[in-house]
Amino acid sequence: MGILRILAVDDDPVFLMLLQHVLGRLGYDDVEVAGTAAAALEHLQGEEGFDCLLLDFDIPGVDGIQLCRRIRQMQGYADVPILMMSNAHAASVIEAAFAAGATDYFTKPLDDLELRARMGMTARLVEERRRRAMLADRVHAQLGLPDEPIRFVDPIPLREVPDVVEYEALENYLLALGRSKLHGHAAIAFRIGNAEEIFAATDAICYADVLAHVASIIADQLKDHEFLMAHAGRGEFVCITARHLPVQAHVLAQEIAARLADRARIYAQLGVPRPVLQVGDPMTTGLFSRTAPSDLLGRARRALRNAAARQIRGEVVV
């Protein structure tokens, strides 16, 4: 696995020394540190980029949340893994970190085993992105194509839509919450029923635009609730809400369908099939559930597919 160039940002110099020591013991020796957001931004504007960022939530002045948002807007840092660090265990803090663009979250004080696991996942993510970038460069050099083709099965980041995060970040969000804080949350999945048809009829940019349009409509329907959402691949979206939805799934589906129908003329003009959205039943987890928090996303997606199958058979879905 390749070497990671890491930037750690915290206003506590003692903690930064400890973090550098622990990271070095884990095999991550290329670590730069900064005590303020201004110093971090100065590092990031240098010629040599970073592969991973560790940001403290509570740095004074421009805090970790604001810094994370700024970094995500910088050229070359839209996809770089950002791990947020904090003393806080509150669900609201964890959600704010992921909503700002964090890839993962862990709490202080440092736990060697947890940091090893988090950094191991980060290193694998960086290595996979490096592989994809090399493939894209090779395709561009050989065929003159602008980008590596996206696959229908792949999760596609939709950063232009507020409260939509990467699928990996949504999984990490559930792990960071844990079973106790997840109680009272709900997972609900959405799918563009004719996504494969749209994918076949469009190019990568147009398909991503359709996904972003659908995601923005879903997000607007859920604007009165605290939520995070991600595209999961295959035209599916999974959403985690901070409390149970007061509206039934089929009512939500009807409301979204009406919004999509309003854009029917635009889709017709573009020659793109109008998305047909399906909504699954919300899934929850109890305090004493044996199901792992990360499986909540899978349960929501399975509930969606079951609902879609019942619709195909002509059964009434309530």
Each residue of 281-304: pLDDT tens digit? 888 876 555 666 678 898 999 988
Co-location of 175 and 108 in the same domain: no
Co-location of 26 and 97 in the same domain: yes
Read off the pLDDT of each residue in 83-98 and give the average, rounded to a whole number: 90
Quick check: helix, strand or coil at residue 240?
Answer: strand
- Total structural domains in the chain? 2
pLDDT computed for residue 288 by the predictor? 56
Provide the strand spans (E) within the chain.
Answer: 6-9, 31-34, 52-56, 82-86, 104-107, 186-192, 227-233, 236-241, 277-279, 283-284
Co-location of 173 and 308 in the same domain: yes
Instruction: Look at residue 63 and tell me whether its pLDDT is greater than 60.
Output: yes
Which residues is 59 bridged to in the sheet? none
Q: Say if residues 254 and 207 touch (Cβ distance below 8 Å).
A: no
First to last CA, the chain: 49
Long-range Cβ pairs for the range 293-298 (8 Å, 24+): 293/174, 293/175, 293/177, 293/178, 293/179, 293/182, 294/171, 294/174, 294/175, 296/174, 296/182, 296/185, 296/187, 296/240, 297/170, 297/171, 297/174, 297/187, 297/189, 297/232, 297/238, 297/240
Co-location of 123 and 173 in the same domain: no
Q: Say if residues 221 and 255 touch (Cβ distance below 8 Å).
A: yes
Provide the 10 A C-beta neighbour count for residue 228: 20
Domain assignment of residue 154, yes or no: no
Domain assignment of residue 151, yes or no: no
Co-location of 45 and 105 in the same domain: yes
Parent domain of 194 = 167-313
Co-location of 176 and 90 in the same domain: no
Instruction: Look at residue 139 and tell me whether its pLDDT is greater than 60.
Output: no
Count Cβ atoms within 10 A of the Cβ of residue 62 and give its class: 0-12 exposed, 13-18 middle, 19 or more buried: middle
Give the pLDDT band of residue 134 (cuts 50, 70, 90).
low
Domain assignment of residue 280, yes or no: yes
Rounded Cα distance, 27 and 44, in Å = 22
Domain assignment of residue 155, yes or no: no
Give the pLDDT band of residue 317 (cuts 50, 70, 90).
very low
Domain assignment of residue 235, yes or no: yes
Instruction: Look at residue 313 and tell me whether its pLDDT is greater than 70.
Output: no
Q: Residue 38 sits in a domain of what CATH number?
A: 3.40.50.2300
Instruction: Look at residue 318 and tell me whether its pLDDT is greater than 50.
Output: no
Domain assignment of residue 149, yes or no: no
Omega into 146 within 30° of 0, i.e. cis?
A: no
